Amino acid sequence: MADRRGDVMGGEGVLHFGLGAFHRAHQAVYTHLAGDDWGVCAVAPRSAGVVEALRAQGHRYNVLVREHDRAWTEPVTAIRRTLHAPTQRAEVIARLADPATRVVTLTITEKAYADTSHGAPVRLLADGLAARAAAGGPPLAVVCCDNLPGNGPATRRAVLTACDDRTAAWVADDVAFPATVVDRIVPATSPADHALAAELAGAPDGAAVVAEPYRMWVLQDHFPGGRPGWERAGALFTDDVARHERAKIRVLNGVHSALAYAGALTGHDRIDQALDDPALAAFAESLAHRDVLPTLDPPPGTDLGEYAATVLRRMRNPALGHRCAQVAADGSLKVPIRLLGTVRERLAAGAEPRWAGLAVAAWLRHVVTGTADDGRPVEVTDPSAARLRELARGEPARHLDALLGADDVFGHDLPHERRFTDLLRADLRAMARHGAGELIRKELTL
């Protein structure tokens, strides 16, 4: 048995779903730096490539930390076992049922929480919890590390939806779902990053990931089966996660998304290049300070103006090479979380959401037209792209009412908010005539 922060007798202790770059640069780093006997058994829901790379090098890998012209590697040894869910389903369920598993963490992307089909991570988690319940297993915590508002309760709802009645009753009594906020910019690892990591570490590393120096993790301390001492690695435990969450999602994620769409439309490949454009830098500042910050209640000890400045400094880091296309992906799922909450609160305060509205217009033009201001195609990855393009019939300004009917994005309220819809329509018309860049420059001179 483990106490609140105790050891797990040499086992992995943490079972993680989602063996992508973010987990390897974030939660696994915290577990490594905690310095106790907890380790991670990491499950890849789809691709076997990272599993094979980690197994080939004894599950040791490096985080390549890059900041402007500086770079260094940090070895990570927290991952001790890997499983490939499509070919090792029984083993994953057995790990969930094993009393030695005390914490389950998830980085499966926002869209995965609505997917309970066979083979999906939430379905696999529910089946494993059913096995644990049937065996009379001890309590545990399930920790969402994705950017969902109220991610603890949201994950609880998703899991209960996937469970049968008997398992749901056990989950209600014996499984905790602490809310969390995660933050670290982790771009896709390029071949050049792999080469640099190998040079700095002195050996090839097929599982290396690249990240900025900054990292943050805020959690509710609700772990009935014990947990690693993540606070020793800098994690913050608090009962007031919500204010941290709103600040991070609206400032960092919201501004990041706005820059990704505006940057792609104006011909920029990377986020730092977009911020080198004076008009887009001023747009990001205006969005953060005029629309986002007025909607936030600062967490204790946090200066939101300084936080916003820190966020923009981090985004300017050219060594990360963070592509607009990567940040822009899945906008139909991200925009409601990252931008539309700001829109709603500005409207409720009697204010015009000028800059948040412009960001939403940039997303709509990006996903519907798929072209930059100069006519070149832009990379669009969005599960709703085909549906939205059909609704818009190629002209988002003329068919905005049809687009606003996508209530999974805009809800039932925003289509009736004339201050917002008139703003969107005018912005989309201006972008169609003169381009997003010209519209942004014009607005910044008002």
Q: How many CA atoms lie within 13 A of 14 on its CB side?
A: 33
**At residue 442, does pLDDT exceed 90?**
yes
Give the model's pLDDT for residue 7. Answer: 35
Query: Residue 444: pLDDT band by 50, 70, 90 thresholds?
Result: very high
Q: Which pTM value belongs to this model? A: 0.90
**At residue 8, does pLDDT exceed 50?**
no
Mean pLDDT of 397-403: 96
Instruction: Give the model confidence (pLDDT) of 343-368 as tens digits.
Output: 999 999 999 999 999 999 999 999 99
**At residue 75, does pLDDT exceed 50?**
yes
Look at 24 and 240; give whichever has higher pLDDT: 24
Give the model's pLDDT for residue 394. Answer: 86
For every residue of 254-304, DSSP letters joined together read HHHHHHHHHHHHTT-SBHHHHHHSHHHHHHHHHIIIIIIGGG--PPTT--H
Mean pLDDT of 21-47: 96
**At residue 19, does pLDDT exceed 50?**
yes
Give the model's pLDDT for residue 36. Answer: 86
Which of 5-14, 35-44, 97-106, 391-400 is the least confident region? 5-14
Per-residue HEC secondary structure of 315-363 comes to HCCHHHCCEHHHHHCCHHHHHHHHCHHHHHHHHHCCCCCHHHHHHHHHH
Mean pLDDT of 70-86: 98
Mean pLDDT of 59-72: 97
Distance, C-alpha 346 to centroid of its chain = 24
Could you give the C-alpha distances from 20 to 117, 151, 214, 250, 282, in angstroms and in order?
21, 19, 18, 24, 33
Query: Residue 114: pLDDT band by 50, 70, 90 thresholds?
Result: very high
Average pLDDT, the chain: 95
Percent of the residues in the chain that have a pLDDT greater than 90, as a whole number: 94
**At residue 445, does pLDDT exceed 90?**
no
**At residue 180, does pLDDT exceed 80?**
yes
Contact, 385 vs 329, CB < 8 A? Answer: no
Q: Phi, psi (5° rounding) for residue 444? A: -75, -10
Distance CA 198, CA 208 (A): 9
**At residue 5, does pLDDT exceed 90?**
no
